[in-house]
């Protein structure tokens, strides 16, 4: 007879491995469902989160992944999301945590409003349109006429304070002479009050008179005293070499429109609000990206630029987040947030009768930042860009050639869904992005 041999250990080991795997699966399912007898569908998860802690009724959980908790490939990630994410990253806000999202838009451009509504539907967000005004409105020329009257008075005060000839002053760049808070960089004294007897009922302040007519609905009564008044001729700055910076009717109507949006923030008692122009595109993951940056802002923030162009924002150190910086020179105002205090402060700066409507509003705002008057932050790369897929309402064409880039464009996704062609951006060394040019200069971008 053959001697008996020892039994092979492999069947037993295999059984232990299988049992261990089953226990792991059961443990993960128990962990992610909270060991309850509830069904583990996505709907049940949503109900548990929104019912816990008295969460607002207008929020719901963002979709973390497709499928249910039974999808074990994502169960651990789902558990980490629910147990470690801040509420703002798990709960959808139709206004992205702001009290309102205002869109500055001409009523005569229903095409723009439809496009913005379509993008908003893709994110489940709510927009509030603020009517801009057409640049052909007579009161726009009335504003320009008043601004032109202030110019020689301002030049006289500045020239006397600085001890220079008035002909040396001017320019329409960021930080220009038309926007300085004091007549001289060496002076701490502000400009004296303007005392125009025509507006004595409003302290001699022509901007206060303008706003009173807006409140009373009598803007149509404001017409220039000269029927042939020409805005660009009256406000032409001979110290400015770039013609595109000169003030025209479109510049003044845009300035006016942005102040209307800021006034809406104060009228509605918003704690914070986002202001958009009506030709923007934004990141597909906007809500989560913004929620992570918003919580890094200090309590006393006033302005946060979610969309800007041609700035030097990367020159300032990162501020508690790799894409958040103290603002440097953020140009363009196609997407920016204001706190209540920021809206009030910025509006007071823009409506100073010595500097109001003397330049483009998107030159005035970065100038105030440069002067240290606003506590402002910029997101770089921006979360919003200008679409530039149609004619500009301010200048000929679609503005500057540079349109900005997004990681994942919402507008492109909408176009793909509709079966339309999406044009992919190509690298063009002749049209480099502004950040690269500012950091390295043209011809040195290989560094």
387-410 pLDDT tens trace: 866 555 544 444 456 668 899 999
Pull the structure tokens for residue 125.
Answer: 């967000």
Per-residue b/e over 170-205, b at no fewer than 16 CB within 10 Å?
bbbbbebbbbbbebbeeeeeebeebebeebeebebb
Quick check: 381 and 323 in contact, CB under 8 A? yes
| Helix pair 249-267, 340-350: axis angle to 10 deg | 140
Residues with Cβ within 8 Å of 362's Cβ and at least 6 positions away in sequence, in order, are 331, 332, 333
Q: Which residues pair with 6 in a beta bridge?
A: none
pLDDT tens across the length of the chain (447 residues)? 444 444 445 455 544 444 555 444 444 444 444 434 433 333 333 333 333 334 444 555 555 444 455 566 788 888 888 899 888 788 899 999 999 999 999 999 999 999 999 999 999 999 999 999 999 999 999 999 999 999 999 999 999 999 999 999 999 999 999 999 999 998 889 999 999 999 999 999 999 999 999 999 999 999 999 999 999 999 999 999 999 999 999 999 999 999 999 999 999 999 999 999 999 999 999 999 999 999 999 999 999 999 998 778 888 899 999 999 999 999 899 999 999 999 999 999 999 999 999 999 999 999 999 999 999 999 999 999 998 665 555 444 444 566 688 999 999 999 999 999 887 777 777 776 666 666 566 554 333
Q: Alpha-carbon distance 387 to 162, whole Å?
A: 44
Beta carbons within 8 Å of 150's beta carbon, 6+ residues apart: 194, 206, 353, 354, 358
Averaged pLDDT score across all residues of the chain: 84
pLDDT at residue 72, as a whole number: 66
Beta strands in 28-87 (DSSP E): 60-61
The pLDDT assigned to 6 comes to 46
Q: Could you give the CA distance from residue 150 to residue 206 in angstroms, rounded to a whole number?
A: 10
Summary count for the chain: helices (H), strands (E): 14, 11
Per-domain boundaries in the chain: 56-92, 98-408
Which among 418, 411, 422 has a CA at the least distance from the CA of 385? 411
Torsions phi, psi for 384 (to 5 deg) = -125, 145
Instruction: Give pLDDT, residue 65.
Output: 45
The pTM assigned to this predicted structure is 0.81
Residue 314: what pLDDT? 82
- Provide the pLDDT for residue 131: 97
Q: Could you give phi then psi for residue 368, rounded to 5 degrees?
A: -60, -35
49-76 pLDDT tens trace: 333 334 444 555 555 444 455 566 788 8
Residue 25 is predicted with a pLDDT of 46
pLDDT at residue 400, as a whole number = 54
Instruction: Tell me what pLDDT residue 11 has.
Output: 52
Please give the pLDDT value at position 140.
98
Query: 3-state SS string over 285-351?
Result: CHHHHHHHHHCCCCCCCCEEEEEEECCCHHHCCECCCCCEEECCCCEEEEEEEEEHHHHHHHHHHHC
- Rounded to the nearest 10 degrees, the angle between the axes of helix 340-350 and helix 361-370 is 110
């Amino acid at each position: 007879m053959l001697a008996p041999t020892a039994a092979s250990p492999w069947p037993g080991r295999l059984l232990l491995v299988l049992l261990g795997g089953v226990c792991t699966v059961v443990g993960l399912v128990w962990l992610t469902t909270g060991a309850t007898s509830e069904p583990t569908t996505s709907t049940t998860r949503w109900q548990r989160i929104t019912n816990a802690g008295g969460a607002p009724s207008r929020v719901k959980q963002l979709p973390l992944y497709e499928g249910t908790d039974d999808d074990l490939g994502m169960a651990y990630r789902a558990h980490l999301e629910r147990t470690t994410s801040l509420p703002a990253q798990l709960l959808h806000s139709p206004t992205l945590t702001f009290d309102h999202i205002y869109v500055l838009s001409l009523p005569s451009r229903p095409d723009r409003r439809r496009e913005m509504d379509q993008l908003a539907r893709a994110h489940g967000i709510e927009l509030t349109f603020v009517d801009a005004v057409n640049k052909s409105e007579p009161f726009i020329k009335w504003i320009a006429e008043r601004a032109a009257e202030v110019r020689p008075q301002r030049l006289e005060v500045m020239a006397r304070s600085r001890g220079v000839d008035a002909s040396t002053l001017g320019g329409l760049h960021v930080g220009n002479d038309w926007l300085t808070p004091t007549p001289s960089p060496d002076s701490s004294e502000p400009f004296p009050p303007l005392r125009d007897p025509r507006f004595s009922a409003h302290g001699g302040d022509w901007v206060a008179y303008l706003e009173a007519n807006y409140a009373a609905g009598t803007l149509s009564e404001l017409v220039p005293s000269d029927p042939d008044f020409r805005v660009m001729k009256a406000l032409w700055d001979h110290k400015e070499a770039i013609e595109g910076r000169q003030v025209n009717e479109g510049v003044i109507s845009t300035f006016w429109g942005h102040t209307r949006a800021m006034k809406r923030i104060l009228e509605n008692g918003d704690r914070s609000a986002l202001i958009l122009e009506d030709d923007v595109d934004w990141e597909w993951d906007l809500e989560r990206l913004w929620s992570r940056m918003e919580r890094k802002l200090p309590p006393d923030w006033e302005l946060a630029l979610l969309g800007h162009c041609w700035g030097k924002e990367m020159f300032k150190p990162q501020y508690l987040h790799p894409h958040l910086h103290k603002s440097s020179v953020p140009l363009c105002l196609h997407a920016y947030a204001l706190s209540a205090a920021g809206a009030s402060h910025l509006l007071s700066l823009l409506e100073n009768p010595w500097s109001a409507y003397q330049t483009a509003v998107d030159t005035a705002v970065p100038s105030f930042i440069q002067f240290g008057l606003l506590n402002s932050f910029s997101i770089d790369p921006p979360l919003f860009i200008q679409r530039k897929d149609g004619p500009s309402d301010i200048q000929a064409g679609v503005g500057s050639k540079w349109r900005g880039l997004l990681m994942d464009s919402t507008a492109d996704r909408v176009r793909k869904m509709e079966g339309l062609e999406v044009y992919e951006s190509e690298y063009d060394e002749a049209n480099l992005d502004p950040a690269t040019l500012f950091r390295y200069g043209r011809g040195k971008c290989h560094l």
